[in-house]
Chains A and B, each alone.
Chain A
């Protein structure tokens, strides 16, 4: 038998959505961002507040904080990254599964902030690729939410490709559909 009806059928109207595969993939991804809270300093306190009931990051579909990089796809670097800690940040980033995003939360993670010294990495974008920078010292939870919604917007408009790491190289796979 099978469905041999190719023409327009008014009976199925309202039950079928036609879209592109990458739009579906991006829609799924941006509404289930699982952040990895890389809390290194006082910004982490604001990050916790954003996760609490008053600001409630769950309203935007990204409340599932996972402390294991294997289960997270968005690293929120919240705080001062020292050169001693940079190795840990990079290693955790490497362990996260593709596709993955990085949010630099606050002045320290974005640029080193007020720590212009021999011990502090002057911006986490020197060791990992950063998608969103959030200003503030520390940013208020609303600023973090705004940044995360910007990240959602960025994921939504991302090129239809599947980024993945294969034997240490990042390869892009175009989604056809």
Chain B
């Protein structure tokens, strides 16, 4: 697979396509609006017939464009990988066209990217959360979401009423947990500072 020839062909069809810096496999940036057409062309004309992965990327609130959709394609005939990325034009309400019409396997990947990043996929047949419960108010992999979590209500109102519990933040209590090394008996991962937890805030 000649990456330069591939890029030239795609740039002829989609003027917005550009090479994308990549350390492992050839990478391409395409405008979000051209993503389904570009993936269709890669599937039909260049043999990239398998969608290996689809995920979202958040570069943080200071960067624009903030959200991207990254697609990994594999050609089962020539065994070459290709990365195609599309930046979502709207930073506040990120949206990208769905690839489910091109690769049906994109269905759950797009649901996960929607769940974790809040990227809406236009044309998706069933865009619901897949990991968190319906009605969860946050998107946990966004940069502003704390690792410990946010306090929200339990998904079931009756269980919350009986137990009086909520979803509580779970700080790492000095973590991340690292192994101090040494013999096996002493190599258990521990936190460097265990003086704070849910009840006693971090000093």
Chain A residues proximal to chain B, CB less than 8 Å: 83-84, 86-87, 90-91, 112, 114, 116-120, 122, 126-127
The answer to whether A112 touches B170, judged by C-beta atoms less than 8 angstroms apart, is: yes
Complex-state Cα separation, A87 to B136, whole angstroms: 14
**Among the listed A84, A87, A118, A127, which residue makes an inter-chain contact with B170, where contact means beta carbons less than 8 Å apart?**
A118
Q: Which residues of B contact A (CB under 8 A)?
A: 131-133, 138, 140, 145-150, 154-156, 159, 162-163, 165, 167-173, 175, 177, 198
How far apart are the CA atoms of A90 and B156 in the complex, in Å?
10
How far apart sit A84 and B146, CA to CA, in the bound complex (Å)?
Answer: 19
Say yes or no: A114-B177 contact (C-beta < 8 A), given A84-B132, A126-B165, A127-B165: yes
Nearest CB of chain B from residue A169's CB, rounded to whole Å: 12
A56 CA / B147 CA spacing, docked (Å): 41
CA distance A122 to B171 in the complex (A): 11
Residues of A within 8 A of B177 (CB): 114
Q: Which residues of B sit under 8 angstroms from A119, Cβ to Cβ?
A: 131-132, 140, 149
Q: Given A84-B133, A126-B165, A127-B163, decide whether A117 and B155 contact each other with a Cβ distance below 8 A.
A: no
Contact of B175 with A122 in the complex, beta carbons under 8 Å: no
Q: A83-B154, A84-B133, A114-B177 are in contact. Are A120 and B159 (CB under 8 A)?
A: no
Q: Are A87 and B149 in contact (CB under 8 A)?
A: no
Q: Which residues of B contact A114 (CB under 8 A)?
A: 177
A120: chain B residues within 8 A (beta carbon): 170
User: Which of A86, A91, A112, A116 makes the CB contact (< 8 A) with B154?
Assistant: A86
The reply to whether B168 and A91 contact each other, CB–CB distance below 8 Å, is no
- In the complex, A90→B157 CA distance in Å? 12
Taking CB atoms, residues of chain B closer than 8 Å to A83 are 133, 154-155, 167
Q: A116-B148, A118-B145 are in contact. Are A87 and B171 (CB under 8 A)?
A: no
A116-B170, A122-B168 known; A87-B131 Cβ under 8 A? no
Not counting A83-B154, A90-B156, a sample of 17 additional A-B residue pairs whose C-beta atoms are within 8 angstroms of each other reads A83-B167, A84-B155, A86-B159, A87-B154, A90-B163, A91-B159, A112-B170, A116-B170, A116-B172, A116-B173, A117-B148, A117-B170, A118-B138, A118-B140, A118-B149, A119-B149, A127-B159
What A residues does B146 contact at CB under 8 A? 118
Least CB distance, A104 to chain B, in whole angstroms? 15
* Closest B residue, CB atoms, query A128: B163
The answer to whether A116 and B175 touch across the interface, beta carbons within 8 angstroms, is yes
Bound Cα distance from A120 to B132, whole angstroms: 11
Indicate if the CB atoms of A90 and B159 lie closer than 8 Å.
yes
Would you give 28 A-B contacts (Cβ < 8 Å), ordered by A? A83-B133, A86-B154, A86-B155, A86-B156, A87-B154, A87-B155, A87-B156, A87-B159, A90-B156, A90-B163, A91-B156, A91-B159, A114-B177, A116-B148, A116-B170, A116-B175, A117-B147, A117-B149, A118-B150, A118-B169, A119-B131, A119-B140, A119-B149, A122-B168, A122-B198, A126-B163, A126-B165, A127-B163
